[in-house]
Amino acid sequence: MRHFILRNAYLLLVLVAGILPASLSAQLLQGKLENYRPYDQSGINQFETKKDTVPFTGPTLRIGAGFTQEFQGLKHHNSSAGALVSPLYKITPGFNEAMANLYTDFQLADGIHLNVALYLSTRHHTETWVKGGYLQFDKLPFKGQFWSDIMKYTTIKIGQMEINYGDQHFRRTDGGHALYNPFTENYIVDAFATEIGGEIYVQKNGLFGMVALSDGTLDAKIDSVTNTPQNGNIKKNPAVYGKVGIDKQLADRVRVRLSASYYHENSSASNDLYFGDRAGSGYFMVMEKPYVVPASGESAYEADAFSGRLNPGFSYKVDALMANGFIKFQGLELFGTFEHSQGKTATEVASRQFNQYAIDGVYRFGKNENLFIGARYNGVTAELRGISSPVTINRFAAAAGWFLTKNVLLKGEYVTQSYNDFPTTDYRNGGKFNGYMVVATVGF
Residue 77: other Cβ atoms inside 10 A: 15
pLDDT band at residue 223 under the 50/70/90 scheme:
confident
pLDDT tens track for 51-74: 777 888 889 999 999 999 999 999
Q: What is the DSSP letter of 222?
A: -
Is residue 317 a part of any domain in this protein?
Answer: yes
Average of pLDDT values for 284-295? Answer: 91
Is residue 336 a part of any domain in this protein?
Answer: yes
pLDDT at residue 31, rounded to an integer = 61
Q: Give yes or no for residue 222 having a pLDDT over 90.
A: no
Q: Structure pTM?
A: 0.91
Domain count of the fold of the chain: 1
pLDDT tens track for 271-282: 999 999 999 999
pLDDT at residue 21, rounded to an integer = 52
pLDDT band at residue 416 under the 50/70/90 scheme:
very high
Is residue 16 a part of any domain in this protein?
Answer: no
- The more confidently predicted of residues 228 and 173 is 173
Domain range for 133: 31-443
Average of pLDDT values for 231-256? Answer: 89
pLDDT at residue 381, rounded to an integer = 98
> Contact at 8 Å (CB) between 43 and 37?
yes
Work out the end-to-end distance of the chain between its first and last CA atoms, rounded to an integer number of angstroms.
28
Percent with pLDDT over 70 in the chain: 93
Is residue 91 a part of any domain in this protein?
Answer: yes
Q: Which long-range contacts (CB under 8 A, 24 or more apart) does 219-226 make?
A: 219/270, 220/160, 220/196, 221/269, 223/269, 225/269
Average of pLDDT values for 432-442? Answer: 98
The mean of the pLDDT values for the chain is 90
pLDDT at residue 126, rounded to an integer = 83
Q: What is the DSSP letter of 232?
A: B
In terms of average pLDDT, the best of 55-64, 107-116, 393-402 is 393-402
pLDDT at residue 46, rounded to an integer = 94
pLDDT at residue 6, rounded to an integer = 43
Is residue 26 a part of any domain in this protein?
Answer: no
Q: Give yes or no for residue 157 having a pLDDT over 60.
A: yes
Q: Letter for the amino acid at 213?
A: L
Average of pLDDT values for 199-204? Answer: 96
Q: Give yes or no for residue 156 having a pLDDT over 50.
A: yes
Q: Give yes or no for residue 185 having a pLDDT over 50.
A: yes
- The more confidently predicted of residues 37 and 126 is 37
Q: Give yes or no for residue 1 having a pLDDT over 50.
A: no
Is residue 348 a part of any domain in this protein?
Answer: yes
Is residue 23 a part of any domain in this protein?
Answer: no
- The CATH number of the domain holding residue 416 is 2.40.160.10
Is residue 17 a part of any domain in this protein?
Answer: no
Q: Give yes or no for residue 173 having a pLDDT over 90.
A: yes
Strand 207-214 relative to strand 239-251, pairing: antiparallel
